[in-house]
């Protein structure tokens, strides 16, 4: 199984592609989509969609695991983050790749055993789990995305969360998130 993990952001979106089979987990690709803050928010969303669309077509993941925005001090920032998540979800769903969402605490707990772990602790564990050498550069946004993928491997396949097969199924499962 190939899992695409995504840590959405309106300025930096992290991604990580992991292959999981009976021999364990292997890193296929990781990185970030860095967006120019001078661009309009709409153009940044289009870039997220387009870049992830290309990545999905290249690696053909079986599922997309994405971190969902939960909290924030600024309503405008949360709105932008939610839109970035939606652009990422749409890139997956339009290519028939089901999407499963995980909270930041779920991801951190699945990877480190601590739902309040720091980004550096998450990166350390991701390096260990995926046997990523110290010479390989891995940013915090990419390691967060890989952590979302690892969380799916450890939790998603257990049936605790079911992936959304379409926008209709997402909307039916989340009526409280429709404005």
Q: Binning pLDDT at 50, 70 and 90, where does residue 167 land? A: low
Per-residue pLDDT at 30: 96
Q: What is the mean pLDDT of residues 78-100?
A: 94
| Spatial separation of the C-alpha atoms in residues 17 and 11, rounded to whole Å | 20
Q: Give the CATH number of the domain where residue 12 resides.
A: 3.30.420.10
Q: Give the mean model confidence (pLDDT) for residues 62-69.
A: 94
Calculate the alpha carbon distances from 88 to 24, 80, 99 in Å. Answer: 26, 13, 10
Please determine, for residue 148, whether its predicted confidence score (pLDDT) is greater than 90: yes
pLDDT-derived band of residue 169, with 50, 70 and 90 as boundaries? low
Look up the domain containing 9 and give its range.
2-177
Mean pLDDT of all residues in 113-138: 91
Task: Examine the pLDDT at 159 and tell me if it is beyond 50.
Answer: no
Report whether pLDDT(170) > 70.
no
Q: Please tell me the total count of domains within the chain.
A: 1
Encode pLDDT of 117-129 as tens digits.
999 999 999 999 9
Q: Does 164 score more than 60 pLDDT?
A: no
Q: Is the pLDDT of residue 96 over 70?
A: yes
Q: Which residues are catalytic?
A: 7, 67, 141
Residue 146 pLDDT level (bands cut at 50, 70, 90): very high
Res 176: pLDDT: 59
% pLDDT > 70, the chain: 86
d(CA 12, CA 153): 24
Report how far residue 104's alpha carbon sits from residue 80's, in angstroms, rounded to the nearest whole number. Answer: 17
Q: For residue 75, name the pLDDT band (cuts at 50, 70, 90).
A: confident
Pair 56, 97: CB distance under 8 Å: yes
């Amino acid at each position: 199984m190939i899992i695409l993990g995504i840590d959405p952001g309106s300025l930096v979106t992290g991604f990580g592609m992991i292959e999981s089979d009976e021999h364990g987990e292997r890193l296929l690709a990781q990185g970030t989509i860095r967006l120019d803050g001078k661009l309009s928010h709409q153009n940044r969303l289009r870039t997220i969609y387009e870049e992830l669309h290309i990545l999905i077509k290249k690696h053909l993941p079986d599922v997309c695991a994405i971190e969902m925005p939960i909290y924030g001090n600024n309503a405008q920032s949360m709105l932008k983050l939610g839109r970035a998540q939606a652009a990422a979800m749409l890139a997956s769903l339009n290519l028939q790749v089901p999407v499963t969402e995980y909270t930041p605490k779920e991801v951190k707990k699945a990877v480190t055993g601590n739902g309040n772990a720091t980004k550096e602790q998450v990166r350390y564990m991701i390096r260990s789990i995926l046997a990523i050498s110290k010479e390989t550069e891995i940013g915090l946004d990419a390691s967060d995305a890989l952590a979302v993928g690892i969380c799916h491997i450890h939790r998603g396949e257990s049936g605790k969360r079911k992936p959304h097969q379409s926008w209709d199924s997402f909307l039916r499962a989340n009526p409280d998130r429709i404005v």
